[in-house]
Structure 1
């Protein structure tokens, strides 16, 4: 467990959350801004499991890779709802994938959380959508749940050590694991992280992960 109980900058950040208004923007604008933010889950013991979001993908109703592209159905209803809620889907009938609904109601728009770095755990423990969901114990029961501490699962803003992340620190590239819409460069990841699910061609794995240094852990 990577819980922090002492009064540290990280502990202060973990108690905060991104407001609904933060998510009320198009997914392709929001996705890179979620890099460096913290996914936080309150465990039954009261301890906090948290990780740094290091990879995201954007999806919009007007492009074929989006779940809401063809029609609105009971299974994708959450994606058409108000921003600031989790949209949890099952991929290939076995893997859960965690998205955050963005932009506006009645328009399918969301950001897939593709990978997270969890301090104190192996680097690639949550390097992929299914692994991320498994590590945080997120499943369909969390679908349509508000992204808020009152619900026990939320996203905190970037902590002080990561607040200075800029566009130059991120890699923007095409999405992966889809059969349509691969041409859109709507995937972003933190270049210095070793917990990314798949790096762009020619982008070498960094020799070490800056995470602990930047977080001051």
Structure 2
């Protein structure tokens, strides 16, 4: 599954020739055509066409007509499969600035205009490998949130030691600032 492997990867946005916005993905959710909370469950429509497209493209939709939600198409073409980016930690910025799908989209300036964009440096948005946080053993796997169907499927992952997670599992306290993980700078530009 792609979703837990995205924890620790960088989402990069080129702002100008020498300026970038980079953040570490700290929370994801997976969706697949065989379960009813996926936008592709009932088949292909004009609205969800991108979700059936090429893996590695953005699938961006409006939630309740207000907030953009940024997904990455995964799996294979002609099968609706994607990963919702729920939270990103950005070094040197408020830890909550991109802690939720709507806040993440807002901070990276992503809206429906970027739907179906392939994540590549030449398109000014891309993913890179980052810190291998899955090896640290503090990735929490739990159920998805904010959906009404298939709520019991444990397809949400987050970095336990990050203060940027949108919603923690019941009983999982926010780590103190002096004991939490913080993203390193992205030096690969």
Q: Same fold (TM over 0.5)?
A: yes
SS of aligned partner of 1:49: strand
**CA distances 1:140-183 after superposition (whole Å, capped 9, x unpaired):** 1111110111100111111xxx2253272100000000000100
Correspondences of 1:1-217 after superposition (within 5 Å) = 29-44=1-16, 46-158=18-130, 162-163=131-132, 165-166=134-135, 168-208=137-177, 209-212=180-183, 215=184
Q: TM-score, normalized by length of structure 2?
A: 0.93
Q: How many residues align?
A: 184
Q: TM-score, normalized by length of structure 1?
A: 0.82
Aligned 8 A contact 2:28 2:83 in 1: yes
Gaps of 5+ in 2: none
* Greater fraction helix: 1
**CA distances 1:98-149 after superposition (whole Å, capped 9, x unpaired):** 0000000110000000000011110111000000000000011111110111
RMSD of aligned residue pairs (Cα, Å)? 1.4
* Greater fraction strand: 2
Structure 2 equivalent of residue 8 of structure 1: none
